[in-house]
Amino acid sequence: MARFHDVLIVGGGHGGAQTAIALRQNGFAGSIAIIGDEPEPPYERPPLSKEYLAGDKTFERLHLRPEAFWRDRAIDLVLGARVDFLDPTLKQVVTTGGERFGYGALVWATGGRPRRLDCEGGDLAGVHAIRTRADVDLLRSELPAARRVVIIGGGYIGLEAAAVLRKFDKSVTLIEAQHRLLARVAGPTLSRFYEAEHRDRGVDVRLASTVSRLVGAEGRVNGVVLASGERLAADLVIVGIGVAPAVEVLRQAGALGTNGVLVDDRCRTSLADVFAIGDCAARKSRFSPTAVRIESVPNANEQALTVACELTGRERDHDAPPWFWSNQFDLRLLTVGLSDGFDVEVVRGDPATKSFSVVYLREGRIIALDCVNAAKDFARGKSLVANGVLTTPGLIADVNIPLP
């Protein structure tokens, strides 16, 4: 017999948790369950590469809600259980343990799995990803014995980890395949700025370099061999080369999508009564003419609210641009909009002061801002991006003139 829930949520991360919370806030009275494969109740992921890795916050402080909350709101948490089959006709999912769950509506909120190095040695002990609490606990347990750390991937997670490890005074080498850091998500000015900051604080940044294999002894990594032939000694390796959306089960069930699962503006997949949200869902919006996956907490929350409204018959016309933050050293980055496809980059303020913004324009319209220690620009930038304000570089470059 399958247990039935009116709303069944698969994935107990940011999106899944917020869907359940918002359903109850909207007065939804049906049964709700969250099936999640991690053992912990929903917790915050961003601190994993920041305060939690640094030991500045205990895990207790990362819980999205206290344990009692879920009970009080009658939200069933089925933890440590992975869904690996979906029958969209019977409207049931099956877990690895063979348990069946029926649903009225299914919300797929499974995030993504860190991409692994598919080269020789990629699975040696001492090679870490940073996606879950378990990942970071393991990493932290090995840190005291490690002196030389090699980080593969110059995206936000790799850079945040590098910043924390420099605080611990580890020797850190960061390897990036592209010619600049953050190449996928930011313009060259921001890339150069972070490169200089990381170098200044002792990170050995290697651009345009790729890993050909990892080497080790007795099953444990002790070196990274670059395509150039150079061999870097490593007591520990961190891999931060992106995530692959966890959508195999949905795709097998027939859901459409190439990079992630495709959803419409109300987060509906091509399967009846099956929604998808967060890191695993690709959606078009006013801010992106093609369907894109956006990996951020605000995006997962926003889509969760969309689904909760859809399931409770409420209108939600929310169209705020995506945003994101990253903390490295004493640099607080706030970004709004999607800079992909910009044609002009306007630097507002002097990067040397460590407080500046980059405003991205496309055909004269503001499409995104990256604000480093410049919360005011970010706060104003949200509405500039939302409204696609037309401007000229001369109008926005001078920091003494507030943004329109």
Ligand X SMILES: Cc1cc2nc3c(=O)[nH]c(=O)nc-3n(C[C@H](O)[C@H](O)[C@H](O)COP(=O)(O)OP(=O)(O)OC[C@H]3O[C@@H](n4cnc5c(N)ncnc54)[C@H](O)[C@@H]3O)c2cc1C
Determine the residue type at 312: T
Residue in 36, 41, 155, 349 binding ligand X, rule: CB under 6 A: 36
**What is the distance between the alpha carbons of residues 17 and 278, in angstroms, rounded to a whole number?**
11
Q: Which residues, at least 6 apart from 336, have a Cβ–Cβ distance to it below 8 Å?
A: 321, 322, 323, 324, 368, 369, 371, 378, 381, 382, 385
Q: Which does 130 bind (CB under 5 to 8 A by kind): other proteins, ligand X, none?
A: ligand X
Residue number, 211 or 281, with CB nearest to ligand X: 281
Residues that bind other proteins (CB under 8 A): 21, 24-25, 44, 46-47, 61-62, 65-66, 68-69, 72, 297-298, 301, 325, 327, 332, 334, 375-376, 378-380, 382-383
Q: Which is nearer to ligand X, 8 or 366 (CB)?
A: 8
User: Quick one: 122 or 298, whose CB is closer to ligand X?
Assistant: 298
The only residue of 28, 287, 324, 329 in contact with ligand X, by rule CB under 6 A = 324
Return the residue of 185, 246, 271, 384 that touches ligand X, per CB under 6 A. 246
Q: Which is nearer to other proteins, 275 or 324 (CB)?
A: 324
Rounded to whole angstroms, the Cα distance separating 90 from 96 reads 18
Tell me how far apart the alpha carbons of residues 171 and 174 are, in angstroms, rounded to a whole number.
10
| CA neighbor of 341 nearest in space, from 302, 292, 387, 378 | 292
**CB of residue 44 vs other proteins: minimum separation in angstroms?**
5
CA distance 1 to 196: 60
Distance of alpha carbon 390 from alpha carbon 364, whole angstroms: 5
> Which whole-number Å values give the CA distances from 236 to 115, 128, 171, in the listed order?
17, 8, 11
Instruction: Using the minimum distance from each CB to ligand X, give the nearer residue, 11 or 351.
Output: 11
**With binding defined as CB under 6 A, does residue 351 bind ligand X?**
no
Query: What's the number of CA atoms in the CB half-sphere (13 Å) around residue 111?
Result: 23
Residues 6+ apart with CB under 8 A from 87: 93, 94, 253
Three-state DSSP class for 362?
strand
How many residues interact with ligand X (rule CB under 6 A)? Answer: 36
Residue 306 found at the interface with ligand X (CB under 6 A): no
Q: With binding defined as CB under 6 A, does residue 131 bind ligand X?
A: yes
Number of H helices, E strands in the chain: 10, 25
Draw the binding track, 137-176, toward ligand X (x: CB under 6 A; -: no contact). --------------------x-------------------
Q: Using CB under 6 A, pick the residue from 92, 110, 328, 357 that binds ligand X.
A: 110
Give the interface with ligand X as residue ranges (CB under 6 A): 10-16, 35-38, 45-46, 48-49, 82-83, 109-111, 130-131, 157, 246, 249, 278-280, 295-298, 300, 324-326
